[in-house]
Structure 1
Amino acid sequence: MRTIEVSGKTIDDALKQALSELGVSMEDVEYEVLEEPSKGFLGIFGAKPAKIKVTVKEKPAEKTAELLNKIITAMGLSVNLQIDDSGEMIKVNMQGEDLGVLIGRRGETLDALQYIVNLAVNKNMEKRQKIILDVEGYRKRRENTLYKLAYKLADKAKRRGKSVVLEPMNSHERRIIHTALQSRNDIYTFSEGEEPYRKIVITPKK
């Protein structure tokens, strides 16, 4: 986070100078007035310039990288962060060796880390920014696995003529299952139970 103190004849003059030195625009900074300008006696003697402290606002992607690096370092891991904030959300793909600990059982650790990062980065933010964490493309592989599982169990339910109940899943993974099977007209899906044990039921249509 960059912070400088600047003086000027007026507060506006000091702000313009600060923006020029920092190479940013007004919406990128916040400032604090340290000393109000004073004209002094007869506008000459004892005149004081305005003095302000200007801080460049930290962008969500920068805050995300900073927080993740602290957490990962504390865990004794070495990770390369690939951050894409060009879209509506911030996507972070972490790469390195032995990162299974960051994923956890069925992605539970990764989901928990993502939840914490979203809370911390969006604290005191005017506009909430969604952050998606991934480890070496794990989420895409998991999504493909869930699609295959959905098709397999839907066929099983149809073949046996009775419902198939899946193991408990988080809301994101349940959504993947529902989406995978929404175009089929021989079965239907619904969720039952309470979090964190909510599960999907695949039922054949009569």
Structure 2
Amino acid sequence: MNEVTTTGQNVDVAIEAALHELQTTKENVEVYIIDEGKKGLFGLFGTKPAIVRVQLKIDPITAVKEYLQTLVQHMGVSTTIEVLNKNRVIEINITGENVAKLIGKRGQTLNALQLLTQLAANKLIAQHVTVFINVGHYREQRRQILIKLASRLADQVVKTNKTVKLEPMPSFERKIVHHTLSKDRRVSTYSEGNEPNRYVVIESTNNK
């Protein structure tokens, strides 16, 4: 229960009743006064109780963690979720049994979880944040795979003089490919297509 509406002889009494029901203190809530109430004649006739709505303040990091926990539980996976907030970047690491189910083919399931959590986080947090989710050491392994793939395809492009289009991937993975080949003067890279089907193109500089 995150919110209650209570009544009392005055606003303070109504707030105290709400705090007791929520089992918290005033520092942890937002108070909305619906009706300040009214004292009746001689304290009897025409008396009207005060009405307040009291809502627990949301800890955005906790809320993001709970949101993600709900998602993975629906997928039937038992996990431990660690959350770090670093300068508007929320880093989340998931560990546990059968977590491979959360990764999917080439990280597609993990990327979808990351996108959904990103959208949820920016509804809960006033300032824009970036969400980065890792499962075990998958992201690091994927990074090494992309670096090797980019280098191998660059060699292929130079050898055949034919442009290569990679499979669609999220922006942070495309950046890995662009960065890997940024100092290779034999080739150039750019992105084409629309999200979520945007992809990297590698072409020989001899074609220019």
Question: TM-score if structure 2 supplies the norm length?
Answer: 0.76
Provide the aligned C-alpha RMSD in A: 3.3
In the other structure, the counterpart of 1:165 is 164
Question: Are 2:72 and 1:100 aligned?
Answer: no
Q: Is the 8 A contact 1:90 1:129 kept in 2?
A: yes
Q: Supply the distance in 2 between the matched residues of 1:73 and 1:152 (Cα, whole angstroms).
A: 39
Q: Secondary structure at the match of 1:185?
A: coil
Unaligned runs of 5+ in 2: none
Distance 1:128 1:15, change over 3 A: farther
Please state how far the C-alpha of 1:150 moved relative to its aligned partner.
1.6
Q: Is the 8 A contact 2:147 2:177 kept in 1?
A: yes
| Greater alpha carbon shift after TM alignment, 136-145 vs 49-58 | 49-58
Distance 1:23 1:131, change over 3 A: farther
In the other structure, the counterpart of 2:114 is 114
Q: Supply the distance in 1 between the matched residues of 2:4 and 2:196 (Cα, whole angstroms).
A: 48
Q: Supply the distance in 1 between the matched residues of 2:152 and 2:55 (Cα, whole angstroms).
A: 56
Question: TM-score if structure 1 supplies the norm length?
Answer: 0.77
Aligned counterparts, 1:5-44, within 5 A: 11=11, 22-23=24-25, 25=27, 29-41=29-41, 44=43
Q: Supply the distance in 2 between the matched residues of 1:181 and 1:100 (Cα, whole angstroms).
A: 30
Count of aligned residue pairs for this structure pair: 202
Q: Supply the distance in 2 between the matched residues of 1:194 and 1:128 (Cα, whole angstroms).
A: 22
Distance 1:74 1:4, change over 3 A: same
Task: Write the letter of the residue equivalent to 1:81.
Answer: I
Q: Is the 8 A contact 2:163 2:204 kept in 1?
A: no
CA shift digits 1:109-134 (9 cap, x unpaired): 11112222233444476444432222
Please state how far the C-alpha of 1:66 moved relative to its aligned partner.
1.7
Unaligned runs of 5+ in 1: none
In the other structure, the counterpart of 1:81 is 81
In the other structure, the counterpart of 2:70 is 70
